[in-house]
A and B are shown apart, each in its own frame.
Chain A
Amino acid sequence: MTLFASAGAPGITSAMVDLAAAAPIATASFFASAVEVVEAFTIVLAVSVVRGARPAIIGAAAALAVLVLAVAIFGPLIAEIPIHGLQLTVGVLLLLFGLGWLRKATLRAGGVLPLHDEAAAFVNQAETLRAQASEVAAEWIAGVAAFKAVLLEGTEVVFIVLAVGAKPGLLAPSAMGAAAACILVLGAGLLIRQPLAKVPENSLKFLVGAMLSGFGVFWTSEGLGAAFPFGDWPIAGLVGLFLLCALGLATVLRRVLARSPAWT
Chain B
Amino acid sequence: MDVIRALGAELWKMFAGDLFLTLGTLATVFGLALILGAHIAPAADAPYLLTAIIIGVFVAAVAMSTAREIKRKSDR
Contacts and interface: CB of A to CB of B under 8 A. Distances in A.
Contacts of A113: 69
A225 B33 CA distance: 9
Nearest to A101: B14
Interface in A80-124: 88, 92, 95-97, 99-100, 102-104, 106-107, 110, 112-113
B58 A263 contact: no
B21 A152 contact: no
A103 B66 contact: no
A253 B62 contact: yes
A99 B61 contact: yes
Interface string B60-76: 01100110011101100
B3 A106 contact: no
Contacts, number: 113
A261 B66 CA distance: 14
Interface stretch (A1-9, A131-139, A164-172, A237-245): A237-245
Contacts of A156: 10, 14
A136 B61 CA distance: 46
Contacts of B40: none
Interface residues of B, number: 37
A228 B62 contact: no
B65 A263 contact: no
Contacts of B65: 103, 107, 112
Interface in B15-52: 15, 17-18, 21-22, 25-26, 29, 32-33, 36, 43-44, 46-47, 50-51
Contacts of A151: 3, 7
18 contacts: A92-B26, A96-B21, A99-B54, A99-B57, A103-B18, A103-B62, A104-B17, A107-B62, A144-B2, A147-B3, A152-B10, A224-B46, A226-B47, A241-B55, A242-B58, A245-B59, A249-B59, A262-B74
Interface of B: 2-3, 6-7, 10, 14-15, 17-18, 21-22, 25-26, 29, 32-33, 36, 43-44, 46-47, 50-51, 54-55, 57-59, 61-62, 65-66, 69-71, 73-74
> Which 4 interchain pairs have the tightest Cβ spacing?
A226-B46, A262-B74, A226-B43, A221-B47
Interface of A: 88, 92, 95-97, 99-100, 102-104, 106-107, 110, 112-113, 144, 147-148, 151-152, 155-156, 213, 217-218, 220-221, 224-228, 234, 238, 241-242, 245-246, 249, 253, 256-257, 260-263
